[in-house]
Structure 1
Amino acid sequence: MSDFEHVFDKPPAGAAEDWTIPQDWRAYTETEHKTWDTLYARQMKILPGRAADVFFKGLKALDLNTGGIPDFSLMNPKLQALTGWTVVCVPGLVPDEVFFDHLANRRFPSGQFIRKPDQLDYLQEPDIFHDVFGHVPMLTDPDFAAYMEAYGKGGQRAASLGMLPNLARLYWYTVEFGLMQDTGGLRIYGAGIVSSATESVFAIEDPSPNRLGFDLERVMKTLYRIDDFQQVYFVIDSIEALKGETLKDFGPIYERLQGADAIPIETILPTDEVFTEGTQAYAAKGGRFAA
């Protein structure tokens, strides 16, 4: 899900009506498999002490380090046995209604391709490493699996009410860039962070960003950055608590949010629970790995 802008308006040639395509695992080249291995090894040096325990449990349960890009025909039975989810390949970013329908039916859409060896540090469109390494381990957790299903079902309602931008912010600040309180302190669970070597360090240790306690309506009003490190991260108490928030009736929330001003990214409100009041120095220097 990327700010509701998508590559295709209809399924391209070779895609099914639900936009899925075969993974065609045997077609991956040796270079592509080595790229996965390089990315995996790099993240496993960085993430201990930074990523949440639940993420590591998911990695272990799915055994994603067997050498090369995971074969969905081998991975999916393990995932399905744990939480009823499967991973399906799609040809790129898909329309919102397609994305929500897959989530609502416990199917996670993943890119089929993997980045080039010279793109290890930054890629605009999510690839299979971001989607599978970043997202799928969390889907082994029953509470997170339920949260994602509820999000998919809620997306259809949000679309009918014109509230997709607000719902997108919830996804962005949880599924993609969420932090949580865990054993030993703040830890990463968002896929956009755990799949990034640089942001894995930045999100936890850099003095620049704000780190604030999660509040559903506050998050749904907060703007975000698409192509750079975040200026604010929101911290949940637990995955179970996040699921509980999502199972609320969003109708009254949407009524309160109608016409409400968006909150600038760097803002700290008097009502915020502040874990870290950031310097915002990184953003002030212009971002994108500014020196």
Structure 2
Amino acid sequence: MSADGFSAAPPPGARPDWTIDQDWASYAPAEHEVWMTLYARQAELLPGRACDAFLNGMQALDLHRGGIPDFERINQELQRLTGWSVVAVPGLVPDDVFFEHLANRRFPAGRFIRKPHELDYLQEPDVFHDVFGHVPMLTDPIFADYMQAYGQGGLKALGRGQLHNLARLYWYTVEFGLMETPKGLRIYGAGIVSSHAESIFALDDPSPNRIGFDLERVMRTPYRIDDFQQIYFVIPSLKALRETTLADFSAIYERLAAAPDIAIDAMEPGDRIFTCGTQAYANAGGRPAGR
């Protein structure tokens, strides 16, 4: 969860690293009720749709207990499993702050939760998106390593002026990634698993393209921030994703600097196609997609 740019002074009440206290005791009963409503409908929907690593993480962290999770409680199990922790932040943080946290196995999460009338769409990520969507995958050692490597790579990308390329990798994996499994395609991206509507659209709708993951292809493809995706990239496994990211990106960045973007709805000759989408949804104008 980041905002463009290098860090300025943190807002009042935040520490130098932009963290704040979650202040779990201050949540109102109505706020806990929103979490429980969102959790219940996703817990019913996601079996058979989300990947095993995500479903296992949901169980390991016991995310339905007592409403909005207390970060101190879930961090005990998260630390034991992969050495990660969740830290509260006041909202979107600068890129360098975001990457620094990831590189040190800390996931920045907003502490506020959406209002009851915002269950299906929220413009800024809240604690449900950040914790329910992202944190279960951090219980998986392979994905946890990937996220740390991404943070380390982000700090390097800032210095090269090619953050837009790396941001696409995050978007199409951490936020909106699909995985190939023996039982079919499964979701692991936080932007999908935290959205009831996109959990269905990403796997079932004939509109979007679904193609095999290729690092440079992903980094040349723009994305949509205000609607369902027009393309989803499918990884063969979490291990393959991690190994790709551990490589040195220097030569890749040099090639990308001279390579044009690929249109968001385009299919390329080398694409491994799972679904050649109709693009009917996007062509009809779409509508805002929920987190």
| Shorter-chain TM band | over 0.9
Aligned residue number for residue 207 of structure 2: 208
Q: How does 1:260-275 map to 2 (within 5 A)?
A: 260-275=259-274
Q: Check conservation: 2:3, 2:94, Cα contact below 8 A.
A: no
In 1, Cα distance between equivalents of 2:3 and 2:201 = 22
CA deviation after TM superposition for structure 1 residue 5, in Å: 7.2
Aligned residue number for residue 89 of structure 2: 90
Matched, 1:4 2:4: yes
Kindly provide the amino acid, as one letter, of the partner of residue 274 in structure 1. I
TM-score, length basis structure 2: 0.97
Kindly provide the amino acid, as one letter, of the partner of residue 39 in structure 1. L
Q: 1:203 to 1:194 in 2, by over 3 A?
A: same
In 1, Cα distance between equivalents of 2:213 and 2:5 = 26
Aligned residue number for residue 37 of structure 2: 38
Q: 1:164 to 1:86 in 2, by over 3 A?
A: same
In 1, Cα distance between equivalents of 2:161 and 2:14 = 28
Stretches of structure 2 lacking an aligned partner (at least 5 in a row): none
Per-residue CA deviation, residues 59-98 of structure 1 (Å, 9 max, x unaligned), is 1111111130001111101000000000000001000000
In 2, Cα distance between equivalents of 1:289 and 1:30 = 28
SS in 1 for 2:247: coil
Q: 1:57 to 1:183 in 2, by over 3 A?
A: farther
Q: Check conservation: 2:178, 2:232, Cα contact below 8 A.
A: yes
Q: How does 1:1-291 map to 2 (within 5 A)?
A: 1=1, 4=4, 9-288=8-287
CA deviation after TM superposition for structure 1 residue 183, in Å: 3.9
Q: Check conservation: 1:3, 1:168, Cα contact below 8 A.
A: no
CA deviation after TM superposition for structure 1 residue 283, in Å: 0.2
Of residues 174-183 and 26-35 in structure 1, the stretch that sits farther from structure 2 once superposed is: 174-183
Per-residue CA deviation, residues 226-283 of structure 1 (Å, 9 max, x unaligned), is 1100000000000010000000010010111113211110000010000000000000
Task: Spell out structure 1 runs of 4+ moving beyond 3 A.
Answer: none
In 2, Cα distance between equivalents of 1:74 and 1:130 = 18
CA deviation after TM superposition for structure 1 residue 46, in Å: 1.3
In 1, Cα distance between equivalents of 2:87 and 2:66 = 20
In 1, Cα distance between equivalents of 2:159 and 2:181 = 36
CA deviation after TM superposition for structure 1 residue 289, in Å: 6.0
In 1, Cα distance between equivalents of 2:2 and 2:101 = 16
Of residues 94-103 and 8-17 in structure 1, the stretch that sits farther from structure 2 once superposed is: 8-17
Q: Check conservation: 1:83, 1:141, Cα contact below 8 A.
A: yes
Q: Check conservation: 1:222, 1:263, Cα contact below 8 A.
A: yes
Of residues 176-185 and 266-275 in structure 1, the stretch that sits farther from structure 2 once superposed is: 176-185
Q: 1:149 to 1:67 in 2, by over 3 A?
A: same
SS in 2 for 1:113: coil
TM-score, length basis structure 1: 0.97
Percent identity (aligned): 67
Stretches of structure 1 lacking an aligned partner (at least 5 in a row): none
SS in 1 for 2:267: coil
Aligned residues: 289
Of residues 178-187 and 266-275 in structure 1, the stretch that sits farther from structure 2 once superposed is: 178-187
Kindly provide the amino acid, as one letter, of the partner of residue 98 in structure 2. F
SS in 2 for 1:234: strand
SS in 1 for 2:88: strand
Q: Check conservation: 1:209, 1:231, Cα contact below 8 A.
A: yes
Q: Check conservation: 1:134, 1:195, Cα contact below 8 A.
A: yes
In 2, Cα distance between equivalents of 1:253 and 1:120 = 40
In 1, Cα distance between equivalents of 2:5 and 2:137 = 25
Q: Check conservation: 2:207, 2:280, Cα contact below 8 A.
A: yes
Kindly provide the amino acid, as one letter, of the partner of residue 107 in structure 2. F
Q: Check conservation: 2:121, 2:288, Cα contact below 8 A.
A: no
Q: Check conservation: 1:179, 1:190, Cα contact below 8 A.
A: yes
